[in-house]
Amino acid sequence: MSTHTSIAIGSDHAGFEYKRRIIELLRSQGHDVRDLGPADASSTDYPDWGHAVAQAVSTGEATMGILICGTGIGMSIVANKHTGVRAAVCESVTAARLSRQHNDANVLCIGERLTGWEQALDIVSTFLSTKFDGGERHVRRVRKLER
């Protein structure tokens, strides 16, 4: 993956531990990771952090986003309200790969309560290393998302 990719990451309390571990791992691999919070695992509202990460991706401050909550679902609902954001909840490596190849997803949502740590790691690395297919039919469909 290009080192020019910047990744914005956020969670709520239910996704805080995976956020901490993913940041540590990605930074150790040389990625530019911006932690948009929260700073601790106190109970908090996922939309606050989901909006922050989605806004960073929507404005181009970050190339990609990663959002973690209990299920990944709340974060995806929030993130997909932002223009230009294509957030995908992925519970498998296949879903992560296809969300990039077919949907050009730019925000990965993970559920810490539903996805084991090793699986989450594989999902993150697949999401970040897989390119959009770029085929005409996929470009056409992704364009239609913004109508």
Query: Residue 114, interface with ligand RB5 (CB under 6 A)?
Result: no
Query: Residue 37, interface with ligand RB5 (CB under 6 A)?
Result: no
Q: Are 54 and 82 in contact (CB under 8 A)?
A: yes
Reduced DSSP (H G I as helix, E B as strand, rest coil) percent helix, strand, coil of the chain, to 5: 45, 15, 40
Q: Which phi and psi (to 5°) does residue 40 adopt?
A: -150, 180
* DSSP state, residue 138: H
Kindly list the strands in the beta sheet with 87-89, ordered across the sheet, starting from the edge strand earlier in the chain: 32-35, 6-11, 64-69, 107-111, 87-89
Listed ranges 30-38, 51-59, 63-71, 134-142: which one lies at the site for ligand RB5 (CB under 6 A) = 63-71
Largest CA distance in the chain: 45
Judged by CB under 6 A, the residue of 55, 58, 71, 115 near ligand RB5 is: 71
| Number of H-type helices and E-type strands within the chain | 6, 5
Q: Which phi and psi (to 5°) does residue 69 adopt?
A: -135, -160
Judged by CB under 6 A, the residue of 8, 12, 18, 107 near ligand RB5 is: 12
Comparing CB distances to ligand RB5, the nearer of 71 and 115 is 71
Judged by CB under 6 A, the residue of 10, 58, 74, 82 near ligand RB5 is: 74
Comparing CB distances to ligand RB5, the nearer of 27 and 113 is 113
**Catalytic site residue from 31, 51, 69, 109:** 69
Judged by CB under 6 A, the residue of 16, 46, 49, 127 near ligand RB5 is: 46
| Closest approach of ligand RB5 to the CB of residue 128, in Å | 22
Q: Can you give the binding site for ligand RB5, defined by CB under 6 A?
A: 12, 14, 46, 69-71, 73-74
Residues noted as catalytic = 69, 102
